Structure 1
């Protein structure tokens, strides 16, 4: 079962130049298997975590790089990244300006992450098997309402759990001695 994250959440890029804070629960978490997300992530899929823009603050946003691209869905997406280390931190979908899609792997505490659904599974690597019970879409879903409802129900069923001091990761910190 999905663990409810503690608020505020924080995260940032690998080098630590850009840090962000999220003060609201995300709308959902999902994995996208389209070719663009595979290329952008350098992996079998990309993950996204839509968050209300009003609850998302990033330091040095004016210094973030922007990469505009047409997504497989046909919409324009602005990928925002650190120009020092190249970490993709969030996307700004042109179709839904009140939302930012945070790349959840950039969170300090990723222990609670579990995708509610998988998009573009017709493009998924053959060895990827989404967990039983997740929502599956062969391409772009017509709407994200089911993903939002699934996440809201999972969050309502669980009280927030305090973070253990060792549960998080701090990017940009010097390596521990002996590593």
Structure 2
């Protein structure tokens, strides 16, 4: 007992220290779980869901439109004054003319009949700086096309030098 009387202060400090540890575990343990849950929620919110990228040119939405309706949708062609053949050129009986539209470094070439205004086909160039790609999926992605659509047919346009590479993708309305 004498020992306890002599060391009251130290005994009080030790008991207080133990109480602080117990209290911290009781309070901090719940927060730890909450923080873990919050961190897990934040991590799952931080990861964006894998969404299909938006096409640069949504060609399926243009299928069935005439060249004038396409110009209303996409704006003025990059061809400027060459958007339509001149009267002199039309006298030669042209049955094909084209307009080029540019967006995000990609070109869309729309071939149409200048007399009827009916679109013949759409060609979307690759976005690869070399002008050629082997990635068919990327061509489909930037054009918004599908290889098995009912209202158009798809053709991959091969490069002259390498039959495994493509300059772009073509959609031909059925």
TM-score class, shorter: under 0.3
Larger Cα-atom Rg:
2
Q: TM-score, normalised by structure 2?
A: 0.23
Q: Higher relative contact order at CA 8 Å, sep ≥6: structure 1 or structure 2? A: 1
Relative to the length of structure 1, the TM-score reads: 0.22
